[in-house]
Amino acid sequence: MGANDLQQAITLHRPAKPVAAKATDRWSVKAVQALFDKPFMALLFEAQTVHRQHFPAGDIELATLLSVKTGGCPENCGYCPQSAEFDTGVKAQKLMEVEEVVRAAQAAKDAGATRFCMGAAWRAPKDRDVEKVAVLVEAVKGLGMQTCATLGMLEPHHAHQLKAAGLDYYNHNLDTAPEYYTDVVDTRTYQDRLDTLAHVRSAGISVCCGGIVGMGEAPVHRAGLIAQLANLNPYPESVPINSLVRVPGTPLADSEPVDPFDFVRMIAVARITMPTARVRLSAGRQQMGDAVQALCFMAGANSIFYGDKLLVTGNPDVEADTVLLRKLGLDARQVQEQEKGCAA
């Protein structure tokens, strides 16, 4: 069974636009926590009900992530094997050549992916770096794929330059709640993250922004992260929810694994509070198993990173994903996004 078998019936549909938050509609941490505290089955039922109101049954987006510039990052994010401060065996590499990236993007497209994300381990790219990435964006866009990039903190002119090159999405995760953020990283501030998101929005690029579960945070911090995301105006078009991949050599390598049901709750609450977003089941899928992933899809996840690697950590392979999606009756669909310049 091949990955292309997923493409039997290609359906074009226009997803609903993210809803701009009104002052009276803001999610408090207390209100989000109340969702987390619901009985598990009731929460899943509510999340699936919300999901069905905004997306076709069985719809799932396949995205592929490629590290185009690996290692050597000066940040000290406690979860990241690409930090220059930690001895994780990841060696710093130069930015990949255009031809290499195009080959990887074409392979991803051939395997069924519709969005291609390029990640570079920078704190903040320089002008010359953005110029080179813009060329990569143009090349991948030429294949007919949606483009996404995650390059660190951006200045306003960088965001506009990437938009001009055809960038559809920019990924910049908040990681966790603001009050827990300095327990994870102290080489930048939470406001730095929010500023980059504002620059991306101002340039007309759609936002991909989520967080990580399993970094030693308390339940209130998970509620705080969701509240931050849901109260962005508008909330992100894509919300990746990651389960910490514990990498030896990083400060968080010995963190307690996340209870699978708690992770499913995270997906469900993200779906309820951000009903029109693509909620992406991201890092950590390799450790979840099919049953937990199925619960995540039931809870409203409708996007996955597809391929054998997530930056520098493992991911379920394409064939395994193909089999699982078929078992669950989920279909990979081409998504035509006409707003904000996001063309499939």
Structural domains of the chain in order of their starting residue, each with its CATH number: 29-332 (3.20.20.70)
Tell me the binding residues for [4Fe-4S] cluster.
Answer: 73, 77, 80
Residue 280 is a catalytic residue: yes
The per-residue pLDDT for range 113-171, each reduced to its tens digit, is: 889 999 888 888 999 999 999 999 999 999 999 999 999 999 999 999 999 999 999 99
Residue 117 is a catalytic residue: yes
pLDDT given at position 294:
93
Q: What is the mean pLDDT of residues 47-54?
A: 95
Asked if residues 300 and 271 have their Cβ atoms less than 8 Å apart, the reply is yes
Residue 80 is a catalytic residue: yes
Residue 296 is a catalytic residue: no
Residue 73 is a catalytic residue: yes
pLDDT, mean over the chain: 83
Say how far apart CA 169 and CA 200 lie, in whole Å. 9
Helix (H) or strand (E) holding 28: none
Q: How many CB atoms lie within 10 A of CB 99?
A: 9
Residue 208 is a catalytic residue: yes
Say how far apart CA 69 and CA 63 lie, in whole Å. 18
- Structure tokens given for 308: 């054998």
Tell me the binding residues.
Answer: 73, 77, 80, 117, 148, 208, 280
| The pLDDT of residue 188 is above 70 | yes
Say how far apart CA 146 and CA 339 lie, in whole Å. 13
- Biggest alpha carbon–alpha carbon distance for the chain: 52
The per-residue pLDDT for range 126-136, each reduced to its tens digit, is: 999 999 999 99
Residue 222 is a catalytic residue: no
Which amino acid would we find at residue 344? A
The per-residue pLDDT for range 69-104, each reduced to its tens digit, is: 886 676 767 677 766 566 666 676 788 899 999 999
**For the purposes of burial, counting CB atoms within 10 Å of the CB of 37, is it exposed (0-12), middle (13-18) or buried (19 or more)?**
exposed
Instruction: Check 278, 280, 285, 333 and give the catalytic one.
Output: 280
pTM for the whole thing? Answer: 0.83
Say how far apart CA 215 and CA 217 lie, in whole Å. 6
| The pLDDT of residue 226 is above 90 | yes
Rounded to the nearest angstrom, the gap between the alpha carbon of residue 273 and the centroid of all alpha carbons in its chain is 16
pLDDT given at position 286:
76
pLDDT given at position 167:
96
Instruction: Check 52, 188, 201, 208 and give the catalytic one.
Output: 208
Q: How many CA within 13 A on the CB side of residue 330?
A: 25
Considering only CA atoms, which of 158, 140, 15, 173 is closest in space to residue 66? 140
pLDDT band with cut points at 50, 70 and 90 for residue 18? low
| The pLDDT of residue 206 is above 90 | yes
Tell me the binding residues for [2Fe-2S] cluster.
Answer: 117, 148, 208, 280
